[in-house]
């Protein structure tokens, strides 16, 4: 299971990241390239797998249906 984390401090090969509950861990970032403080990354087993765009990091957008509910 991968979790989104926020980069707190970045180095060349790893970054200190924080989850939404304030827990921190050092994450390998070689697969996603350079990151900076405030970036959001998707992490599994201590490795950043993907850099999240602000749209993705915020979660899915609400959907609107063109059909009326009866």
Domain boundaries, the chain: 3-57
Q: How would residue 53 be classed by pLDDT, with cut points 50, 70 and 90?
A: confident
SS (H, E, C) 7-40: EEEECCCEEEEECCCCCEEEEECCCCCCCCCCCE
Classified by CATH at the fold level, domain 3-57 comes out as: SH3 type barrels. (2.30.30)
Predicted TM-score (pTM) of this structure: 0.76
Report whether pLDDT(58) > 90.
no
């Amino acid at each position: 299971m991968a979790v989104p984390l926020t980069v707190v401090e970045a180095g060349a090969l790893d970054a200190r990241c924080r989850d939404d509950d304030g827990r921190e861990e050092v994450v390998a970032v070689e697969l996603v390239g350079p990151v900076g403080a405030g970036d959001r990354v998707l992490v599994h087993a201590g490795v950043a797998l993907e850099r999240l765009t602000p749209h993705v990091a915020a979660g899915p957008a609400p959907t609107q249906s063109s059909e009326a509910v009866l």
